[in-house]
Structure 1
């Protein structure tokens, strides 16, 4: 099923009138295997003359599709804001990375083993009332994400640590996760360069 199928359901939720704050979670399939089956409905997919890298081209296309999905969500929320005046904020994140492997001269991307890059994932926030772009390189742990999400939603609770996802500071603790990542002995999985290999 295409991630774009979520957009119709998302619009149905937006059309439900409420004065309350809402948290809407859209769980996409994104770039999970088999990625070539996930991009059948996208125009102008990336293709390569090197058939050994055709799966990688599908993977890059799936990133393009995710960008388009976020754009469509943004446009629906922007239209809703023009009618209701309700501001909005979007957070996008991935739960893990993928590693590539080559078998029989074919390169694929899977979750078959963990490299250190598995934990280096995007975390993006888009606010309706901001026009600037800020890039942060601080290290945030997924183990603190729930607390950060609660603070982003302005949930008030004395037991909720004041964890910010977007303060530009490294998390004070990650409960030993970084140490575990540093113990991963599999080789780093470098990016695959498609320069000159796309049609």
Structure 2
């Protein structure tokens, strides 16, 4: 990121001073582009004073020492990657007690129109339905990357047929401004969640 200056968070850390509020960003990414999105989200939140760990989902061994979790995955065959789904279901009890956000990347949003937006919302609905114990505070919906050079021959062949039909060519369709804006919104969401917890307590 070009702007590395510390931002003022809207979060009232109270006894959890800036830097002590820990956020885990766990991601599933087959070719790396979703992991790069996770890194940018982490950079933004770090600027607001949060202590952020960004990890590939399979490298996460424990979640109980985090104050909030963000889970991201590429969309494959109209759903999150299996390891992302398993991760949420495995830790749903812990996630029910802390703020959790989701995000996904997909080629569906490479072209923005009513149909693709509806499809992206359908993906989001599937995430909400993963478990009744976890109520995500936000779901980020982002376009992804199509880089055939990283794919197997059979995958390239299959994707060529699909992309020809939908009219999507190879390229990086990620909107970094939208990704950063969503990351900033998480700070506000955490502030609201914290205020509600204080009122309930």
The answer, yes or no, to whether TM exceeds 0.5 is no
Structure (1/2) with the larger helix percentage: 2
| TM-score for the superposition, normalised by structure 2 | 0.29
Higher RCO by CA contacts (8 Å cutoff, separation 6 or greater): 2
Query: Which of the two has greater strand per residue?
Result: 2
